[in-house]
């Protein structure tokens, strides 16, 4: 199977970690979402990454759906709990971390692609507020190790990737005010070697 992604993408990193935990080999092909000629726009009409290209199958996007697919390929219950309360909690945790990553990415894109005189401080503050509120919730209650075959789940994977992205693009500024999350991420990295192995 082929994964279209980019090295710094936190959503692509989610998939790469999930694939390792599920024992699924992925061939990585880098994609340039800003290039109209890149075939990623045919593989995902939204032009977003990651996109999984199963051999002989239709493209799968985006990261939550890909992780669901990988878990199924591994027989189920590896990174997604069985249907019930634990699964819903894992999916909600993943949604929170994904939203944090979206808001962080939008701040990066605003600075990278919009001329300074056209940037909206109010809009940037709105995105930063999403990140701050998500971090506050996660600091109060970091994800717990899951009752899955791998000992982790999509909420933990997504949270780790979100924090890793803040380290990469925001110089780890979140760390000073979130000691519980710092400890949590250190423990996750020690427990899940694929996290360090997928660092951009």
- What domain range is 40 assigned to? 2-73
Evaluate whether residue 99 is within a structural domain.
yes
Q: Is the model's pLDDT at 89 over the cut of 90?
A: yes
Evaluate whether residue 180 is within a structural domain.
yes
Q: How many domains does the chain have?
A: 2
State the sign of the Cα–Cα–Cα–Cα dihedral 9, 12, 14, 16.
Answer: negative
The predicted structure's pLDDT at residue 113: 83
* Same-domain check for residues 69 and 93: no
Q: Beta partners for 52?
A: 3, 60
Half-sphere CA count of 28, side-chain side, radius 13 A:
15
Per-residue pLDDT of 124-172, as tens digits, reads 999 999 999 999 999 999 999 898 999 999 999 999 999 999 999 999 9
Evaluate whether residue 80 is within a structural domain.
no
The predicted structure's pLDDT at residue 115: 81
CATH number of the domain within which 89 lies: 1.20.1050.10
CATH number of the domain within which 30 lies: 3.40.30.10
* Same-domain check for residues 23 and 103: no
* Same-domain check for residues 117 and 193: yes
* Same-domain check for residues 116 and 190: yes
Last residue within a domain, chosen from 73, 93, 123:
73
Per-residue pLDDT of 105-129, as tens digits, reads 999 998 888 888 888 899 999 999 9
Task: Identify each DSSP E strand in the chain by its residue range.
Answer: 2-5, 27-30, 51-53
* Same-domain check for residues 93 and 132: yes
Q: Are 188 and 156 in contact, with CB atoms under 8 Å apart?
A: yes
Per-residue pLDDT of 59-71, as tens digits, reads 999 999 999 999 9
**Strands ordered across the beta sheet of 51-53:** 27-30, 2-5, 51-53
* Same-domain check for residues 92 and 189: yes
* Same-domain check for residues 155 and 109: yes
* Same-domain check for residues 89 and 65: no
Per-residue pLDDT of 39-87, as tens digits, reads 999 999 999 999 999 998 999 999 999 999 999 999 999 999 999 999 9
The predicted structure's pLDDT at residue 95: 98
How does residue 91 score in pLDDT terms, banded at 50, 70 and 90?
very high
Half-sphere CA count of 155, side-chain side, radius 13 A:
22
């Amino acid at each position: 199977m082929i994964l279209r992604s980019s090295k710094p993408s936190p959503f692509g990193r989610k998939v790469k970690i999930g694939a390792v935990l599920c024992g699924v080999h992925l061939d990585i092909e880098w994609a340039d979402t800003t290039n109209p000629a890149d075939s990623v726009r045919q593989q995902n009409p939204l032009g977003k990454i990651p996109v999984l290209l199963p051999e002989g199958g239709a493209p799968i996007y985006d990261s939550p759906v890909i992780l669901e697919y990988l878990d199924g390929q591994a027989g189920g219950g590896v990174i997604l709990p069985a249907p019930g309360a634990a699964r819903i909690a894992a999916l909600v945790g993943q949604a929170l971390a994904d939203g944090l990553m979206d808001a962080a990415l939008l701040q990066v894109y605003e600075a990278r692609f919009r001329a300074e005189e056209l940037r909206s401080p109010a809009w940037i503050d709105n995105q930063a507020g999403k990140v701050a509120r998500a971090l506050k919730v996660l600091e109060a209650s970091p994800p717990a190790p899951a009752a899955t075959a791998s000992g982790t789940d999509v909420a933990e994977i997504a949270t780790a990737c979100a924090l890793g992205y803040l380290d990469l693009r925001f110089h780890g500024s979140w760390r000073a005010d979130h000691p519980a999350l710092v400890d949590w991420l250190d423990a996750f990295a020690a427990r899940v070697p694929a996290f360090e192995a997928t660092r951009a």
